[in-house]
Structure 1
Amino acid sequence: MNFRFQNLLGAPYRGGNAVISGDSLLLSPTGNRIVATDLIHSRSITFPFEAASDLSRLAVSDDGRLLFAADSTDKGRVFLISVLSRAVLHRTTFKKPVSAARFSPDGAFIAVGLGKLIQIWRCPGFKKEFFPFHLERTFADFSATVTSFDWSPDSNFLLAGSKDLTMRLLSLKGKRSENKPFLFLGHREPIVGAFFSLDKKTGTSNRAYSVSRDGAIFTWDLVENMDVDSDHVSPDTEDQNLDADGDDNNLIIKFESPTRKRKQMEEDEPSKLPWRLRKKDFFMQAPARLTACDYHRELDMVVVGFSNGVFGLYQMPDFVCLHLLSISREKITTAAFNRAGNWLLFGCAKLGQLLVWEWRSESYVLKQQGHYFDVNCVAYSPDSQLLATGADDNKVKVWTVSSGFCFITFSEHTNAVTAVHFMANNHSLLSASLDGTVRAWDLFRYRNFRTFTTPSPRQFVSLAADQSGEVICAGTLDSFEIFVWSMKTGRLLDVLSGHEGPVHGLMFSPINAVLASSSWDKTVRLWDVFEGKGSIETFTHNHDVLTVVYRPDGKQLACSTLDGLIHFWDPLDGVLMYTIEGRRDISGGRRMTDRRSAANSAGRYFTSLCYSADGSFILAGGNSRFVCMYDVAEQVLIKRFQITHNLSLDGVLDFLNSKNMTEAGPLDLIDDTDSDIEDGIDTQTRGKLGQNLPGSMQNRGRPVARTKCLRIAPTGRSWAAATTEGVLLYSVDDSFVFDPTDLDMDVTPEKVEEALADDQKQRALLLSLRLNEDSLIKKCIFAVSPLDVPAVCSSVPFKYLQRLIEAFADLLESCPHLEFILQWCQELCKVHGHYIQRNSRALLPALKSLQKAITKLHQDLADTCSSNEYLLRYLCSSGTKV
């Protein structure tokens, strides 16, 4: 039962600014979480911590070790995170929204834009302190919100842009009262980017760039020749001291040359140095607005993104356009270089899209796009390596579970996708939609090879296929019928009538051809599809039935009803076995429009059920922030998983603040903003709250935390939940759990080492299995010679077989000694085959994990052998001597 959060799929980007740490680690905010994508190995992982609300601003240190993250609320909650350990080091609150943040090049300071202020904080270290953030300097000269700033290479100056149409040069040297900023004027729109340039010869910053929202970029140069009053001093005059004795002091008058005076000004008051406007350039993308930009100091290049989806790459200071391309028709919300400058990062919040483009070769390094409406359904492939999702954006996506990447998107549906189902052969996928079609997808050729339709248009909301894959069934929302097709021919075979409400649940029995269906007419019906006998059994309930599932052995049927109950039926005898009352377990979370407490709020029922691989427990989720796990035999709640702590969603808090309630309704639902900036996916499209009626006002309510679909992997070691935040993956993590199975005073790691030293491999393996420590078990497995494997396998007790099989499955995925581990598996099946067959239900999760590892290994070896075969054929045909 040790399921922990593993990853977040279906939403690689939600808005805010994304950054690239170093050359290859992409960090992007996704709701209240942070997703890290390794661009070299093509893997993504989600940081385990959650912020209290959506994150909007990220900044990473130059060494890539620290990450600064700020949320989007007015409280300005801030997290300092270790990128390597993915742990939160420090938390603080600035009490103002954070509009910009940047680490200094030396890593000593963090510049934070808080409305009209810029605060310079000393960067906290890894030491434990009561309040590690120390305020060094505050600049309060701005008349509007600060939007962007850049540090000089020596970390002594700060170039800041603001919505007041100005850019200012700030200095951290000297006294605060005497250090006035230098103003750069001339822009007609708010500043989007302010950057220092670098002179490679001298190593100084004598040029600056300012980019405004109207598509203008100004180039500023540091004045080389200063006008100095030299009536009495020539340029070659050396320093002279004229002493005048007085009564109380000694007056020293110092004459300096202009060169020496300029040097002194650079050292003492750099922000007072004169700058001049060298030239003005325009990107000429009107009426589109410039929404994102970044500058690479070593390459002297600027990348810009616009509200029409166009981005441009320009060589400065000559303003030469290297690339001008279009990504989409939506606004680009973030743009950035990597440290080497060869990759460009772009993000589109409205589409949930992240792109990494190599501009020299003009090729994509990363191209990921999530669902930009609610995910309605998920399905695991039979080998647990793939995950399919369907959403309200009419798309079906297939993800690789291990990497977290989507490798194919099917967009032929014209309405919301309501159900997906993998076929038993693992090579094809089915999807049902409200557009009235059920489509079959080929996962080898990535195409739609079969489309199932009805004589008159229908809306499908449920889907099922039998074990052989010959019959496809789909339930409807409007006609209350179940349609049956042939997979081979695509012909409509039968129409099952009898329900009087929408058919939201369909599932074939794992042991026979009986189809179970649930409907809002308060019934669950069993159908004999192949014999054509129609409904053979009806289970009646007191409330609408929302979903139905079979236990993996086919000897039990579970369904949830609108009154919050889970009913368990014996499908063979047709009797009710027991009932679980889950209304109190799923309750919690008050919506902003609720006038009552969370305990009395509506929606306390389960809309999705899923059995575990061995059928011992069941997962249940619905319109709540909780996913409940029940023990089926004991009918008790084992654990509750809270899918989110994000306060930006509705239904997360049990008690609302009465101060936020007015006569006009909740304050958060009142639109009192006059900003022309488009909202991202996090506030505009995430959590689509139903379809608006024609002529009705747009529902500006916050998305509601809920779970639409639950699925457990066939291996039983992970499960997926389609939630408002995306698809959450939970997996069993045994690496940090010490759970001894048979422990006494003589069973210790030292005894295991002694047995290995005495060449007692069999005894060492049994001791390590009793300790149940993963590293010792694997060490003892490799200590056994191949000739002794059959003897050792015969001495393993039955109760340790599951743990040993799990160790083999893990080793096949990680170690190079494939033949040795496969020999272990073969001998174990030979010796204990009868016991494994009799106890297949208890060993099913471990056996499926082993099957998954062997299948993946077989595919990799088959691909390698095929490529070698073609290579050898080519070499032989070309006459080359090998």
Structure 2
Amino acid sequence: MNYRFQNLLGAPYRGGNIVFSDTTLISSIGNRISVTEVSESKSSALPFYSPTNISRLACSPDSSFIISIDSLNHCVFANLRLRVPLHHLNFKEAVHAVKFSPDGVLIAFGVGKLVQVWKSPGFKKEFSAFQLVKTFAGFDGAVRALDWSPDSQWLLAGSKDLTARLFCLKKLKRLKPFVGHRDVITGVFFHKNGDQVNGVYTVSKDGALFSWDIEFEVENNGVEFSKAKDEELSDPPSPGTPEIKGSSDVQKTKIVDRLSDEEGYLGKRNRAGEFQEIETQESKIGQQEKQNSFDDNIRCPLHKGTWVLRKKYFFMQPHAKLTACDYHAGLDIMVVGFSSGVFELYQMPDITLIHSFSISREKITTASFNKHGNWLALGCARLGQLLVWEWRSETYVFKQQGHYFDVNCMAYSPDSQILATGADDKKIKLWNVSSGFCFVTLSENGKENGHTNAVTALHFTPNNRCLLSASLDGTVRAWDLIRYRNFRTFTTPYDRQFVSLTSDPSGEVICAGSLDSFEIFVWRMKDSRLLDTLSGHEGPVHGLTFSPINAVLASSSWDKTVRLWDVFDGKGAVETFPHTHDVLTVVYRPDGKQLACSTLDGQIHFWDPVEGLLMYTIEGRRDIAGGRLMSDRRSAEKSTSGKCFTSLCYSVDGSYILAGGNSKYICMYDVADQVLLRRFQTSSNRSLDGVLDFLNSKRMTDAGPLDLIDDVDSDVEDGIDQQIKGKLGYDLPGAIGNHGRPVIRTKCLRIAPTGRSWAAATTEGVLIYSMDDSFLFDPNDLDIDVTPEAVETALSEGQHLRALVLGLRLNDDKIIKRCIFAVKPPDVSTVAASVPTRYLNRLMETLADLLDNAPHLEFVLVWCQELCKSHGHTIQQNYRNLLPSLRSLQKSMTRLHQDLAETCSSNEYLLRYLCANGTMK
């Protein structure tokens, strides 16, 4: 029951920008944030999420905080190290750019046509944490790019109106905009030399790079001044300042008069009403004193010079737009990415081409340098591709790509270390569950080496050396998990489309159900020979499973029946279980004494396969109901049509069952009592259809909901979130007429053999729920004497058994581990033999965790050995209750055995080599 969200697999990158935090790569996955440790090859998703898909990210210079902004302009300010959200902020207009200042005190947002500077909340707990410091106006288009000066006093902004502007935080200065581009400004950067600004780079979408330098003139007395005095006028009124609340001419006159008094000079107005300065001796002295005090507080006197366009350079990429760029000031290099998939690296300021590569034929959505400038991260939203390239050695440090379409099927390996996923993109991906990385992609490499159509079913053989896959291309393929190649292909005399797959407990017989001929085909694994064809169903066979205790095959079909087959004796169907609606899936309980199937009316039926009797039925339509589609005419409460379970999965001990389908919910039921234990909501992303229970009537028009009307002139980046339908179009109800909004659903559910985690293939990706990383306090037999102080007292007195029992009763992970390591090696056998039976499960879970993370390998293995010796009979009697922890121990030991085997083997040959060299000498 204590399952919590742990990770999100299947789509490393969905759009928006990516940022670096030291060696950590931060990107968005839908409405969640993915954190990838590039050097350690680990990827995880932060537990919090935004209301809709995240479009912009920014990380503080000290890597303590992160800001995310979604498509609804909702901002989340979070602690990156603790992975918790701290503050929220809503903007009224779209935010296209956000950046922290170099000192981390301020945050600049490009909000529509304005540039807003907010004070960073930090670690303080305040009611109104965000404080607006400055608001700059002057643009006629949306602000697209931002950059800070090294002293955090100047802000450079680029806009959609083809101009870039320079703003000062200390005093309102109106400098002339940088003009000359003929397309939207994509990037603006300060050209820095330490803490001194030498110039400005502006990059536009048409592939133009302009280099701007500042010139200073010196009078006879040696004082620098600017030729253009009109550049030092006050900025025009901007939103957020008290001076612009009114817009009449009288109010404007008062504002100018008050400004003139503050500046310390007298003035008058001409016939046009414009203010003219009267140069008196007193006004000159007062203005000079104030200017000197202002200049003393600014390290970079960018307001005292004249900006001149020094160089124009055009990236010659025919029929391609510049879509991404970034600049590293320390190394003075710039990267530009194009819509053709080409990216180029240039050495500045000479604009010398260093590298030019192509990663795909789709446009590069984002590009970013890390802090040291040796790594370059590139993202392609349409392909779901994210990679990190080390440009000096020209090698890939990190490369991940998710499935192009939704995941159709998945399977856990017997040791729970690998999760295999298959999708409509004809690819099979193998994921390391602990690290969250995809380490192998099994795809078409020639017609003989991969599937040529959608992958619909996956199954691991019991020996953990082979993966079976079924596809709509009419083949079932066997993949070698050591060499990662297709070594066996199972076909039929006529072309068939397979949608279900299973094997017998020995892995020697393979069975697959067809979509078009309604038959079940049986092959022999050894020589790929077709042994039998089972006929009898009158609809597509969408469910196949072998009994774990005998050679009985159960199949479910849309013909409203579940059939049992004796495969080895060739007797055909030996039992038929009729239903009133189409049967969508079928699954055996791990002990083989119960069979569960789901039907189209939202019910789960439990059968006794031996007696052939219906044991009980769970009515799940109301439990799974929820979420209203944009095209629904009825409310979410009354709209229960189409709500059904398409995937079922028993727990390891068979006490509960997970059910998911055409809904945003995954239900967990108690099998014995037929009651709902818990509902998991797979997603709260409003960018998906079917998430909200109530729709906003203000967005309803005569032409239908505004969200379903295509906007041709929209600036939304092209990504794979527009993909709503693959080659399994029949399995995507609600997609027709949806105009690009994916519908939330669960296509497949699988529980790990250890029972510690389970995975769900949803529209957003593969969700992993686990109970291993537990931070909850769940004590056992807690009374007034069971306290951490009592544990400390027992340890100081040398009572290790009492301290361990108290730690197990407290159920605190840190205390239990400390008590284990406090026991001396000669006393391990005595303490292990005296541990009460009721705490064996919790103790074995802790030992499994120590095998994965603790460096004291031999000591932990001694604990495991003594525990099995002392409590072997008890473990054998209660194996069903202890099975999850036993499988966790087996998983950890298997992984350690594989790692140590390679290490020992390499050391053995090395010693032989050294000994041979010593003998020769």
Aligned partner (choices 219, 242, 245) of residue 211 of structure 2: 219
Give unmatched runs, 5+ long, in structure 2. 226-279, 444-449
Which residue is equivalent to 1:624? Answer: 663
What secondary structure is seen at the aligned counterpart in 2 of 1:125?
coil
Aligned partner (choices 143, 153, 156) of residue 156 of structure 1: 153
Which residue is equivalent to 2:887? Answer: 848
Query: Aligned pair in 2 of structure 1 residues 652, 262: CA closer, same or farther (>3 Å)?
Result: closer
2:363 is the alignment partner of 1:331: yes
**CA displacement at 1:879 relative to structure 2:** 4.4
Which residue is equivalent to 1:360? Answer: 392
Bigger shift: 12-21 or 654-663?
A: 654-663
Separation (CA, whole Å) in 2 of partners of 1:642 and 1:362: 43
What secondary structure is seen at the aligned counterpart in 2 of 1:197?
strand
Query: Aligned pair in 2 of structure 1 residues 659, 329: CA closer, same or farther (>3 Å)?
Result: same
2:831 is the alignment partner of 1:788: no
Separation (CA, whole Å) in 2 of partners of 1:441 and 1:596: 47
Separation (CA, whole Å) in 2 of partners of 1:525 and 1:358: 57
Letter in 2 for 1:637: L
Which residue is equivalent to 1:27? Answer: 26
**CA displacement at 1:115 relative to structure 2:** 1.4
| Cα distance per residue 1:837-866 (max 9 Å; x no partner) | 222111111111111111111111111101
What secondary structure is seen at the aligned counterpart in 2 of 1:198?
strand
Letter in 1 for 2:780: T
**CA displacement at 1:107 relative to structure 2:** 1.3
**CA displacement at 1:753 relative to structure 2:** 3.1
Which residue is equivalent to 1:244? Answer: none
Separation (CA, whole Å) in 2 of partners of 1:269 and 1:546: 72
Please show how residues 367-406 of structure 1 align to structure 2 within 5 Å. 367-406=399-438
Query: Aligned pair in 2 of structure 1 residues 510, 146: CA closer, same or farther (>3 Å)?
Result: same
**CA displacement at 1:565 relative to structure 2:** 0.6
Separation (CA, whole Å) in 1 of partners of 2:680 and 2:4: 9
Letter in 2 for 1:806: E
Bigger shift: 711-720 or 37-46?
A: 37-46
Give unmatched runs, 5+ long, in structure 1. 239-248
Which residue is equivalent to 1:147? Answer: 144
Which residue is equivalent to 2:328? Answer: 296
Letter in 2 for 1:836: I
| Cα distance per residue 1:392-450 (max 9 Å; x no partner) | 11110000001100000011211111111111111211111111111111111111111
Separation (CA, whole Å) in 2 of partners of 1:56 and 1:50: 13
Which residue is equivalent to 1:199? Answer: 193
TM-score, length of structure 2 as denominator length: 0.89
Separation (CA, whole Å) in 2 of partners of 1:86 and 1:573: 52
Please show how residues 752-831 of structure 1 align to structure 2 within 5 Å. 752-831=791-870
Which residue is equivalent to 1:59? Answer: 58
Which residue is equivalent to 2:572? Answer: 534
Which residue is equivalent to 1:349? Answer: 381
Bigger shift: 667-676 or 627-636?
A: 667-676
What secondary structure is seen at the aligned counterpart in 2 of 1:298?
coil
**CA displacement at 1:285 relative to structure 2:** 0.6
Bigger shift: 675-684 or 135-144?
A: 675-684
What secondary structure is seen at the aligned counterpart in 1 of 2:474?
coil
8 Å contact from structure 2 (residues 664, 691) kept in 1: yes
8 Å contact from structure 2 (residues 295, 301) kept in 1: no
Separation (CA, whole Å) in 2 of partners of 1:497 and 1:434: 19
Please show how residues 165-564 of structure 1 align to structure 2 within 5 Å. 165-175=162-172, 179-200=173-194, 203-225=195-217, 251=282, 270-271=302-303, 273-411=305-443, 412-564=450-602
8 Å contact from structure 2 (residues 224, 304) kept in 1: no
**CA displacement at 1:682 relative to structure 2:** 2.2
Letter in 1 for 2:185: I
Separation (CA, whole Å) in 2 of partners of 1:660 and 1:250: 63
Query: Aligned pair in 2 of structure 1 residues 301, 814: CA closer, same or farther (>3 Å)?
Result: same
Query: Aligned pair in 2 of structure 1 residues 263, 250: CA closer, same or farther (>3 Å)?
Result: closer
What secondary structure is seen at the aligned counterpart in 1 of 2:138?
coil
Separation (CA, whole Å) in 1 of partners of 2:517 and 2:392: 56
8 Å contact from structure 1 (residues 105, 155) kept in 2: yes
Letter in 2 for 1:182: K
What secondary structure is seen at the aligned counterpart in 2 of 1:7?
strand
**CA displacement at 1:876 relative to structure 2:** 3.4
Letter in 2 for 1:157: W
Which residue is equivalent to 1:241? Answer: none
2:5 is the alignment partner of 1:5: yes
Separation (CA, whole Å) in 1 of partners of 2:129 and 2:180: 40
Separation (CA, whole Å) in 2 of partners of 1:263 and 1:404: 52
Aligned partner (choices 96, 103, 111) of residue 106 of structure 1: 103
8 Å contact from structure 1 (residues 148, 191) kept in 2: yes
Which residue is equivalent to 1:747? Answer: 786
Query: Aligned pair in 2 of structure 1 residues 265, 222: CA closer, same or farther (>3 Å)?
Result: farther
Separation (CA, whole Å) in 1 of partners of 2:724 and 2:579: 37
**CA displacement at 1:733 relative to structure 2:** 4.2
What secondary structure is seen at the aligned counterpart in 2 of 1:535?
strand
| Cα distance per residue 1:44-72 (max 9 Å; x no partner) | 11100011000000111111111111001
**CA displacement at 1:283 relative to structure 2:** 1.3
**CA displacement at 1:867 relative to structure 2:** 1.2
What secondary structure is seen at the aligned counterpart in 2 of 1:182?
coil
CA RMSD for the aligned pairs?
2.5
Separation (CA, whole Å) in 1 of partners of 2:782 and 2:334: 64
What secondary structure is seen at the aligned counterpart in 1 of 2:536?
coil
Bigger shift: 840-849 or 786-795?
A: 786-795
Separation (CA, whole Å) in 2 of partners of 1:261 and 1:759: 70
Which residue is equivalent to 2:253? Answer: none
Please show how residues 865-880 of structure 1 align to structure 2 within 5 Å. 865-879=904-918
Count of aligned pairs:
855
Query: Aligned pair in 2 of structure 1 residues 211, 716: CA closer, same or farther (>3 Å)?
Result: same
Separation (CA, whole Å) in 2 of partners of 1:263 and 1:598: 63
Separation (CA, whole Å) in 1 of partners of 2:339 and 2:224: 57
Which residue is equivalent to 2:37? Answer: 38
Letter in 2 for 1:666: P
Query: Aligned pair in 2 of structure 1 residues 684, 766: CA closer, same or farther (>3 Å)?
Result: closer
Which residue is equivalent to 2:238? Answer: none
Query: Aligned pair in 2 of structure 1 residues 225, 618: CA closer, same or farther (>3 Å)?
Result: same
2:702 is the alignment partner of 1:663: yes
Aligned partner (choices 585, 597, 601) of residue 635 of structure 2: 597
Letter in 2 for 1:331: K
**CA displacement at 1:234 relative to structure 2:** 6.9
8 Å contact from structure 2 (residues 74, 90) kept in 1: yes
Letter in 2 for 1:723: T
8 Å contact from structure 2 (residues 689, 743) kept in 1: yes
What secondary structure is seen at the aligned counterpart in 2 of 1:600?
coil
Letter in 2 for 1:71: D
Which residue is equivalent to 2:14? Answer: 14
8 Å contact from structure 1 (residues 216, 282) kept in 2: yes
Separation (CA, whole Å) in 1 of partners of 2:736 and 2:563: 40
2:877 is the alignment partner of 1:857: no
TM-score, length of structure 1 as denominator length: 0.93
| Cα distance per residue 1:318-360 (max 9 Å; x no partner) | 1111100000010100000001000000000001110000000
| Cα distance per residue 1:636-671 (max 9 Å; x no partner) | 000000111111111111111122222211111112
Bigger shift: 404-413 or 775-784?
A: 775-784
**CA displacement at 1:129 relative to structure 2:** 1.4
| Cα distance per residue 1:447-476 (max 9 Å; x no partner) | 111111111111110110111110111111
Separation (CA, whole Å) in 1 of partners of 2:79 and 2:70: 17
2:71 is the alignment partner of 1:72: yes
**CA displacement at 1:611 relative to structure 2:** 0.4
8 Å contact from structure 1 (residues 16, 56) kept in 2: yes
8 Å contact from structure 1 (residues 350, 685) kept in 2: no
Separation (CA, whole Å) in 1 of partners of 2:636 and 2:727: 22
Bigger shift: 26-35 or 143-152?
A: 143-152
